[in-house]
Amino acid sequence: MAPLLKLSRAIDAVTAFIGRSVSWLILVAVLVSAGNATIRKIFDTSSNAWLELQWYLYGTVFLLAAAYTLQRNEHVRIDIATAHLSKRIRDWIDLLGHIFFLLPFCGVMIYLGWPFMLHSMQSGEVSVNAGGLVLWPAKMMIFCGFALLTAQAFSEIIKRIAVIMGLIDDPTAKHDMPPIIEELESAADIDERIKR
């Protein structure tokens, strides 16, 4: 299991680096959006390329940060359904969900995304909008985003198995607790620090 955990740590490092790096694209997208709106109001002119660039930037962040969101355990969960279950059962639900739902979905998206991207690159596909951008970079982000999400899913599976086997502490333990318990635990931590 040690080599798999080492692989998991490597995947986590890559995912975290990419996730933190692409978060800056939100700022770029906001600046492009503000600049485009300002130019449109002042000079009464605009370009579809600027609008499409905003979409590309937002899409890139969404797709490439999805794996980082999974790693940080920040995806939406249905806590109402699992809050009263034991930690062990929630771990098994995560493990089986990653294996039987997340991995197959990512596999389908990669399988469909590869020819979608390749055809766009080979044909030099350009937006139908006047002055629009080439489309293959946006389509490539779909493929790359799901490839990264697949790698992170494998990392999460490895970690969840190790947690179930008792080999490692749960790296996302606080996120597995119902929100009220997280708040109480945070309050207890604060009280303990004050006493020191």
pLDDT in tens, 15-44: 999 999 999 999 999 999 899 889 888 888
Please enumerate, as own/partner, the contacts of 160-164 that have beta carbons within 8 Å and a separation of 24 or more.
Answer: 160/91, 160/94, 160/95, 160/98, 161/1, 161/95, 162/1, 162/4, 162/5, 163/91, 164/88, 164/91, 164/92, 164/95
Q: For position 84, what pLDDT does the model report?
A: 80
**Is 173 a residue whose pLDDT tops 60?**
no
Higher local confidence (pLDDT), 89 or 46: 89
Q: For position 193, what pLDDT does the model report?
A: 58
**Is 181 a residue whose pLDDT tops 70?**
no
pTM for this entry: 0.80
Per-chain mean pLDDT for the chain: 85
Q: For position 192, what pLDDT does the model report?
A: 62
